[in-house]
Amino acid sequence: MKTSPMTRNLALAAIALLLAACGGKSTVREPTPLTEIKNPQIKPVSVWSAHAGDGSGGRVSGLRLNLQPDALYTADVSGGVYAYSRDKGKLLWKTQTGARVISGPSVSGDQITVGTLDAEVIALKRADGTEMWRSKTSSEVIGSPAGEGDLVIARSVDGRVHGLSAAAGERLWTFDRDVPNLVLRGSSAPLLIGDRAYIGMDNGRVASLRMNDGQPVWEQAVSVPSGRTELERLTDVDADLLDGPDCIIAASFGGEIACLEAESGEALWRRSIRSYTGMAASEDRLFVTDDVGTVWGLDLRTGAAAWKQEGLAYRRLSAPAYFGGYVVVGDLEGYLHWLDPSTGAFVARVKVGSDPIVQAPVSGDDKLYVMNTMGRIAAIESRKPKH
């Protein structure tokens, strides 16, 4: 049986209560107060800012910044899609889709795609935002679509994955899996590598699909449901999958992070961490924010814990970014926190507006780009502090 939109909305309310609780208790935990960073190692400076419409408007969404060589792309829930210059934040173009955009944009070739609350994928011309096509799916597309070559792949919240023609949006194939009765409000984006599409699912599993026909090559459990209640049995893989060294790294709300061999799905290592936000990596470290606001530094090849930083507990952290040799995470009050990747110690902090930062900051060559839930974008440089 498919999960209805009403059931999923009820699930969102339940999860909001769950995430505010500690260890299953009903007591709402206050965000951990911030402590002063003495002798910060860097000075983050905002060099430009812009406002992309309404952002997500506070909704749970897959809206994000997408940094490309030609522009910084984003979208808002009121249907706007935007392209900004990377250096000064100049608006290069804006288009109004007239849809309730909830995910993306993704960029592939000369095309940009977004997903909507009204079960659509919309494709636009990369050069100026002109609409190319829109295609109906079976339900909301909260996870960002992904494009590669002649194909666009979109996962909808009812458990279906759709392979669409990049040229005209026609449906070429569908992969279908049932979803549990209670799930997190969110979806990871498909990860496309070579001729495979890797899909994180609400049942706690990852599937490897052939891109040409959508047939499964393998499915592997990241986390298995456990516990007496449906809340305790949540296992969603909602964080975006990560292309790791010789494996696909997946994080589950059920309490496991797994490194899955790309060809076979065999688990090379597992680590007990409960996450729904996301991950980032350096050459030798994997960085993860968990469900209670702990930031973890793991060995990328073994999953062993190198450090954990608990000073941001209950601050509803974004997924991390790795920028300029540091780990950066956002929080519910609009702060960005810089951490030492070797120890997890705080090295700098800056406030970017007062609204939550829930999507991972995006790392460029010389700037870090961040967008809060109300659409404010900031480009930040790291400079040497004056002591």
Asked if 233 and 188 count as a contact pair (C-beta separation under 8 A), the reply is: no
Confidence label for 387 from pLDDT (cuts 50, 70 and 90): low
Tens digit of pLDDT for each residue in 237-263? 999 999 998 899 999 998 899 999 999
Q: How many CB atoms lie within 10 A of CB 116?
A: 25
Secondary structure of 72-98 as H, E, C letters? EEEECCCCEEEEECCCCCCEEEEEECC
Q: How many CB atoms lie within 10 A of CB 168?
A: 10
Confidence label for 27 from pLDDT (cuts 50, 70 and 90): low
State which H helix or E strand residue 6 sits in. Answer: helix 5-19
| Largest interatomic CA distance in the chain | 62
Q: How many CB atoms lie within 10 A of CB 246?
A: 10
The Cα–Cα gap between 86 and 161 comes to 33
Return the pLDDT at 255.
87
**CA–CA distances in Å: residue 160 to residues 155, 173, 304, 362:** 6, 10, 34, 28
Of 323, 335, 332, nearest in space to 367 by CA: 323
Of 358, 325, 352, 351, nearest in space to 339 by CA: 325
The Cα–Cα gap between 303 and 285 comes to 9
122: three-class secondary structure by DSSP: strand
13: three-class secondary structure by DSSP: helix
265: three-class secondary structure by DSSP: coil
Task: Give mean pLDDT, residues 362-368.
Answer: 96
Task: Give mean pLDDT, residues 264-278.
Answer: 95
Q: Which residues are 234's β-sheet partners?
A: none
Q: What kind of architecture, by CATH, is found in domain 5-383?
A: 7 Propeller (2.130)
Task: Give mean pLDDT, residues 153-165.
Answer: 95
Q: Which residues are 337's β-sheet partners?
A: 329, 349
Angle at Cα 281 formed by Cα 301 and Cα 344, nearest 5°?
95
Q: Is 33 exposed, middle or buried (0-12, 13-18, 19+ CB in 10 A)?
A: exposed
Mean pLDDT score of the chain: 91
Pairing of strands 111-116, 368-371: unpaired
Strand ordering across the sheet containing 267-271: 242-244, 247-251, 257-261, 267-271
Lookup result for tokens 């007239």: 98
The Cα–Cα gap between 241 and 195 comes to 16
Task: Give mean pLDDT, residues 296-300.
Answer: 97
User: What end-to-end distance do the CA atoms of the chain give, in Å?
Assistant: 62
Of 358, 277, 278, 273, nearest in space to 308 by CA: 273
Strand ordering across the sheet containing 80-84: 66-67, 72-75, 80-84, 91-96
Task: Give mean pLDDT, residues 345-361.
Answer: 96
Tokens read off for 86: 């990377």
The Cα–Cα gap between 159 and 142 comes to 12
Pairing of strands 321-323, 305-309: unpaired
Lookup result for tokens 């706690």: 204
Asked if 302 and 308 count as a contact pair (C-beta separation under 8 A), the reply is: no
Residue 20 in this model has a pLDDT that exceeds 60: no
Pairing of strands 247-251, 257-261: antiparallel
Pairing of strands 62-63, 101-108: parallel
Q: How many CB atoms lie within 10 A of CB 148?
A: 18
Cβ-proximal residues to 13 (8 Å cutoff; 6+ apart), any chain? none
The Cα–Cα gap between 175 and 56 comes to 28
Confidence label for 22 from pLDDT (cuts 50, 70 and 90): very low
Tens digit of pLDDT for each residue in 329-338? 999 999 999 9
Return the pLDDT at 386.
79
Tens digit of pLDDT for each residue in 213-238? 999 999 999 988 777 777 777 888 99
